[in-house]
Amino acid sequence: GHAGSPGSDVRRTTRVRRSDPSTGGDMKEPRFAIDTADAASVQAHLLRCADSFIPPLRERVDVARYSEKIALHATTFEAWNGGALIGLVAAYANDPSTGFAFVTSVSVDGDHVGRGIARQLIRECLAYATSHGFDAVRLEVATNNEAALRLYESSGFRTTDAAGTTLTMQWQHEPEGRP
């Protein structure tokens, strides 16, 4: 089980556009990367996004320890603006024998929400999982996180289980040419 994981959350959509030195200021196209972020970059990003998680991230995890765990054990799909990590999808994709990878975190910095960054990072995560022998990708999301639910459903995830206020969703790889 993933009882200790904070689930998969997406930042609430706030369509505020402003210059913010903490995220590199201007709105140039983000640079995408895989597995380059260290724990400090992950932590700085998650702390900028913490209050926008549903439910709030600090209520569920020690952000410093969680950032360390992500940096050490997760595959990270990253969007960067200059030296600032502005978008992150973190997935545990370590053991294909389980049959599925698990997305533990989805977040985009407030200034950059609504630009398709989370969608692009999810796409990269699904492609990575498939190419590394995973047939499915799972995540958990709060039932009241409407922006996240829309993102995941439009990315091909389907609800497979519901427990309290948490849904488990799964994306299933469909090999080409299956009848």
Q: What is the pLDDT of residue 102?
A: 97
Specify the pairing of strand 158-163 against strand 166-172. Answer: antiparallel
Q: Which residues have C-beta within 8 Å of that of residue 6, sequence separation ≥ 6? A: 53, 57, 60, 61, 66, 104, 105
Q: What is the pLDDT of residue 6?
A: 44
**pLDDT tens sequence for the chain (179 residues):** 333 334 444 443 333 334 444 444 556 789 999 999 999 999 999 999 988 888 888 888 999 999 999 999 999 999 999 999 999 999 999 888 998 999 999 999 998 999 999 999 999 999 999 999 999 999 999 999 999 999 999 999 999 999 999 999 999 998 776 55
Quick one: tokens of 141? Answer: 């999301």
Omega cis (within 30) before 55 = yes
Q: What is the pLDDT of residue 21?
A: 44
Q: What is the pLDDT of residue 82?
A: 92
Q: Which of 164, 114, 115, 116 is nearest to 140 (CA)?
A: 164
Q: Which residue type sits at 102?
A: F
Judged by DSSP in three states, 82 sits in: coil
Residue 103 host element (H or E): strand 100-108
Q: What is the pLDDT of residue 56?
A: 85
Q: What is the pLDDT of residue 178?
A: 53
Q: What is the pLDDT of residue 54?
A: 86
Q: Rounded to an integer, what distance in angstroms lies between the CA atom of residue 89 and that of residue 34?
A: 10
Q: Rounded to an integer, what distance in angstroms lies between the CA atom of residue 48 and that of residue 42?
A: 10
- Name the residue with tokens 């497979």: 160
